[in-house]
Structure 1
């Protein structure tokens, strides 16, 4: 999958600054543990850390294409191209000669043939940079759904870029400064497209490309969701969804390294696992390998709440048996969640305070660390809920009519809370409600609509678009950072742009034809799944309910409060902190009861470890 970085400066002789370029590249070591490469010319240095997945010997990067002894283009690439074989055949017909069997070379040759138009031909997850010596310019491209991250930082005479902020921060030209806009991005559960936390830093938006020239940076979109008339009947729609899923998963099983699935026993991951098992069998491979996660003692301790009606483990075992999977249950000891080494690894991977669902970041890291011992590639079910309408807020009339992001309305908002211990004057200064309203208006302005579309159909298109362009980005970021922290590539079939484009335009009445969540997905995959799986109600990624975990958080925050040098103290309401630490603790710990503890602790670690300069 890999990590990329680079530096363009039209006033500097960058071969004189290769130590800095190497330092930027080495920050990406966790993303690419297999190899390191650096390519440079007078005004550019491109870095690459490789996780070898396809063409283990030939896909070395950065990769340059030469003619008459000079480079025509150089590429540093992160991701996977699932239609690279078809594109290779097409390029060979145009006269291109390949020296490797990698998808990287297909992207490079595709750029030589089609220029920036290569982006529209790719099916995959990717972030890449191409330096064109003839044009003396850099092209930055990110995949349509934003599965792979790509950050950039304009400088007076060029740009810095990287898969993660840490690559950019390794260059002295980038400061670790955070202003009010950046802190808002940390504190609210709304990801603003293109906005990064550190001042001066930005993200390439999903489906966007940037051109960097001596005269500056220009941005354009090569893909965005469009509103199209849906003409298929229900049976035809179900069949098309089934065909797209089968093709997508089959494409994503291509790898020259061990591959597995992440299996919770829910509809999404079970569908992916069943389709993967079928694809592997058709290729003469198998059985499918699958992994699930749970916490020590969870079965005995489990209690229902508003979003978790059943534990995952029995359903994951059922599904694994149904497809004959080589299944592994990764059981996490709750003490590992607060292990300082684990939490340092999580923070190092994110470069930001991972405050929302605080225990889920370390648990996901621990899961992926265990998976990586047996597999290099995993298929996951991200984006199915956003695409097919799986969350409660798709059916909650109050949330739909609230005039804001539906996951931040009463009933849902407490799961994304974390501000309870922060200083009231600080929150008033940030004015989160006003900022959120502004972001909401911006998001609605981007929604494509059909002429004459009104009422519920118009609103459900808006809700789906908000989920696909705002909410899912947080989940994709979390999955990318935690998996790449251990050198694991996670593929997400439900983010295939063909599937997204098709299902986005299916009328809501058809998406919910049986009155339940994810009706279309259930109907399209029911023939592959046990009835217990198809009938199971949506359950999110598990969170620990062990009170010992909350006790450990409280103890840690008490230590932070006792240290007058703790950088988070000016941001906290100390009266509220005192009342929280003194509050009796119940027998079961809920994520929404400890959000304030998580936020305070992660903020303190981030401010301390990263030397952040707050300018509020």
Structure 2
């Protein structure tokens, strides 16, 4: 993880804008606290903050290319500000060396720069990894913003009076004076819909680079184009070949992603996905490969240890299964125990809202993840995890239960049975005027229309492809954003071997009957990788990130809500519904009968932090 930001202007000389560069760097410090750099020219300003992972000595940025023949015949050099990891960088380096390029460092950053010098923006098509970068091409007087295929790393931009500005996170644009943190009605609809729309943000004047997209800004204005779309193909492999291919690609992805010049670990949940990643990582770099014991990490709520209650989403606690996996690996394990006081720490809650640049669903899980990332340093700077497998292989309940599968909306909204998540405490008149259900339906129909299909699918396969696509392009984004933004508490670079475009392109096109082998969620993945794990892990059903079950947590949320409702200076007062707030504070059902759940209360607290502490202004 690193941070990038900058400005392009053809009307203002940016060569002396050091104070603006300072503001970018300060806002992005948590993404890269170890070092940084800046490049200031007449038309371009680029800023970089670094968390060193590959070639700590030689990977400094912004990195300036070569002019002349060594730079692909460019009369002026290209300048790169890059964050990410390219997992095929050694292969690309060999190819570029054969093409006449000379390398001065061992970093993947320089590989990206030389690739740009060789192929221009089309170099993105050759990169296998997680990345977001900016290239200022001085000769062409163009800036190119390029983001990985799944949006593992964030990248935002805005048009300004003097030209164009970009940054890893919106807060850097605000602090550097390039945009204002204003939320209009469309932004509020986006916030309340709990389904991120590619390209949109909740802020009026800020957009994001869509995953798999190149955004170019030059004297002729802004141009956007895609360099990758998920392909729909006929799957011709038989079952045994499909199983073998999945195993081969997953093994290759983990093998590439354990490469690191800093300490590495694995996040364990006690489930199938993280178990597979940890077992493969141990084979590559742990004791099984002749190295030190693999470092593993997990978290659990203290209350849940003795008082766990099963529910629709969580059949069993994680800790016993984590212990089984740790024993199986002989891993060097650390477990973080989270208390209700930890979850209610105002500083931690504010850090979540500020870190995410918006209120989110599941405040307590974000606080817990942030605390886990903080605990992992300095033992590990890089952490592999199992994220992405459920979205790709069909692990969630909404892939399995016909009630969810047939729901005419984003399937993850179904588990809340009509409960309004972010919007439960929002003023009812405003909610009706916003028509949030209509907004969600419009976004849903747009997403369905995008779904890649061959046209030869059965009705079942068509629907399961739709649900898979919705998960890969919408739901997965919330998971990846949490990992990226909350990882800054370490800071910690999270790697996701299942979110690999080679694997995704293959598995997306596998028929549902193969994916759901033996009628089990992720049946194909179990068949491909199950021999690496204890039987109890292979048999365990899907259990999402744990939630805090302590009744004291909800009571604490209610007490905090009461404080906010009595704070006349709070900027959130005009957004809340007085009657529903009263129902939460006084009714025996704590508002449940009024369509309010715990997530609604968390959202109200976050809106308070957002408006009073983060400077966000609503213009509705």
Aligned to 2:41: 41
- How far off its partner does 1:412 sit? 4.0
Q: State how far apart, in whole Å, the 1-side matches of 2:91 and 2:456 are.
A: 39
2:30 aligned counterpart, secondary structure = coil
Q: SS of 2:196's equivalent?
A: coil
- Structure 2 counterparts to residues 525-544 of structure 1, below 5 A: 525-544=529-548
**Which one is further off, 22-31 or 411-420?**
411-420
For residue 146 of structure 1, the aligned residue among 137, 142, 151 is 151
Match of 1:175 among 176, 180, 184: 180
Q: Which residue of 1 aligns with 2:354?
A: 348
Q: Is the 8 A contact 2:193 2:439 kept in 1?
A: no
Q: Retained in 2: the 8 A contact 1:127–1:148?
A: yes
Give me the whole-angstrom Cα distance separating, in 1, the residues matched to 2:420 and 2:217. Answer: 37
Say which of 452, 467, 471 aligns to 1:448: 452
Confirm or deny that 1:302 pairs with 2:312: no
Taking the TM superposition and a 5 Å limit, the aligned residue runs for 1:362-511 are 362-409=367-414, 411-413=415-417, 417-511=421-515
**Per-residue deviation, 1:584:** 3.8
Q: May I ask how many residue pairs the two structures share in their alignment? A: 610
Taking the aligned partners of 2:600 and 2:354, their CA distance within structure 1 comes to: 21
Moved more, 477-486 or 29-38: 477-486
In 1, Cα distance between equivalents of 2:458 and 2:269: 37
User: Which segments of 5 or more consecutive residues in structure 1 lack a partner in the other structure?
Assistant: none
* Per-residue CA distance 1:172-202 (angstroms, 9 max, x = gap): 2311211111111211111100001111110
Deviates more, 1:411-420 or 1:421-430: 411-420
Relative to the length of structure 1, the TM-score reads 0.96
Where in structure 2 are there 5+ consecutive unaligned residues?
Answer: none
Distance change >3 Å, CA 284–CA 93, structure 1 → 2: farther
Residue-by-residue CA offset, 1:45-97 (whole Å, 9 max, x unaligned): 00000000010100001100133698511100000011101111111111111
1:516 to 513, 520, 525: 520
Contact 2:76 2:138 in 1 (8 A): yes
Write the deviation string for residues 117-159 of structure 1: whole angstroms up to 9, x where unpaired. 1101101000000001100110100001111110111124421
2:262 to 257, 263, 281: 257
Cα 1:284/1:41, change in 2 over 3 Å: farther
Matched, 1:604 2:608: yes
Q: TM-score, normalised by structure 2?
A: 0.96
Tell me whether 11-20 or 72-81 shows the greater mean CA deviation: 11-20
Distance 2:495 2:238 in 1: 30
Aligned: 1:74 with 2:79: yes
Alpha-carbon distance in 2 for matches of 1:46, 1:40 = 7
Aligned residue for 1:328?
Answer: 334
Q: Is 1:28 the counterpart of 2:33 in the alignment?
A: no
Give the distance between the partners of 2:351 and 2:452, measured in 1 at CA.
Answer: 40
Q: Is 1:2–2:6 an aligned residue pair?
A: no
Aligned position for 1:131: 136
Cα distance in 1, alignment partners of residues 166 and 292 from structure 2: 39
Deviates more, 1:65-74 or 1:89-98: 65-74
Q: Over residues 350-409 of structure 1, what are the superposed CA-to-partner deviations in whole Å (9 max), with x where a residue is unaligned? A: 12112x112111111001110123110000111111000001111222222222111123
Q: Is 1:162 equivalent to 2:164 in the alignment?
A: no
Within the candidate set 208, 215, 220, 2:225 is matched to: 220
In terms of mean alpha carbon deviation, does 448-457 or 200-209 score higher? 448-457
1:61 aligns to what?
61
2:517 alignment partner, SS class: coil
For 1:550-597, what per-residue CA distance to the aligned partner results, in whole angstroms no more than 9, with x for missing partners?
2221111111111111111111111111111113479xxxx9841121
Query: 1:485 and 1:5, CA in 2 relative to 1: closer, same or farther beyond 3 A?
Result: farther
